A and B are shown apart, each in its own frame.
Chain A
Amino acid sequence: DAKTTQPTSMDCAEGRAANLPCNHSTISGNEYVYWYRQIHSQGPQYIIHGLKNNETNEMASLIITEDRKSSTLILPHATLRDTAVYYCIVRVNDYKLSFGAGTTVTVRA
């Protein structure tokens, strides 16, 4: 699976949009971009995934660049409960979720 690069940490203000970047310059044509998050001491939670097109669900939006070498997860209105580690994962199939260090997002009141 392609390697991903994410910032180590970021802060955002409650009620504002949080934009989380992810670089995956070695992504291949059949690899999906997945986002999960892990709130402290809980199991990871699936957020969203996409292949080429931008995606939106009740939790977030995923913007994938046209060349697919990077993506951005957008939390439209961050709340304190969105404080978590966010993982960007690129993979071709549903085995071997490979979690890196992720981005620690702290939402501040």
Chain B
Amino acid sequence: ETGVTQTPRHLVMGMTNKKSLKCEQHLGHNAMYWYKQSAKKPLELMFVYNFKEQTENNSVPSRFSPECPNSSHLFLHLHTLQPEDSALYLCASSQDGGGLAGAREQYFGPGTRLTVT
């Protein structure tokens, strides 16, 4: 248990569906992150939120829509996905996501395994 939970753990959706991934951190951290890990590829950073404000969007297609209502919760809303979007989606949090030097470690959730059919 890392203190970061993700639901659902597995999701199968059609290309016309709309679904949401949820992440919650119980660590009192200020920053939260979404990563994507496709099969046999390195993790790719998608979004960064710091104190509920989006500070990084790594050229992610608009069919992925993040939402951060507070520092403890992060959502990834999915719509009209493509089969190539099938991947493991990981959420992470860190103490002080201010882009400052003196780096903090990130704590990852278990991920949501998404399959788009």
Chain B, interface size category, equals 20 to 34
Residues of A within 8 A of B97 (CB): 94-95
Given contacts A45-B108, A101-B42, contact A30 B101 (CB under 8 A): yes
Chain B: minimal CB distance from A29 (Å): 10
- Chain A interface, number of residues (Cβ within 8 angstroms): 22
Within the assembled complex, what's the spacing in Å between the Cα atoms of A92 and B43? 18
Q: A94-B31, A94-B94, A99-B43 are in contact. Are A42 and B100 (CB under 8 A)?
A: no
- Is the Cβ of B103 less than 8 Å from the Cβ of A32? yes
User: Is the beta-carbon distance between A43 and B100 smaller than 8 angstroms?
Assistant: no
Q: How far is the CA of A34 from the CA of B105 in the complex (A)?
A: 8
Min CB–CB distance B96 → chain A (angstroms): 7
| B99-112 to A contact mask, C-beta < 8 Å, 1/0 | 11111111111110
Report the bound CA distance from A46 to B42 in whole Å: 16
Q: Which residues of A are in contact with B by a Cβ distance under 8 Å?
A: 30, 32, 34, 41-46, 49, 91-102
16 new A-B contacts at CB < 8 Å, known A94-B100, A99-B42: A34-B105, A41-B111, A41-B113, A42-B111, A43-B2, A44-B43, A44-B108, A46-B105, A49-B105, A94-B105, A94-B106, A95-B48, A95-B55, A97-B45, A99-B43, A102-B42
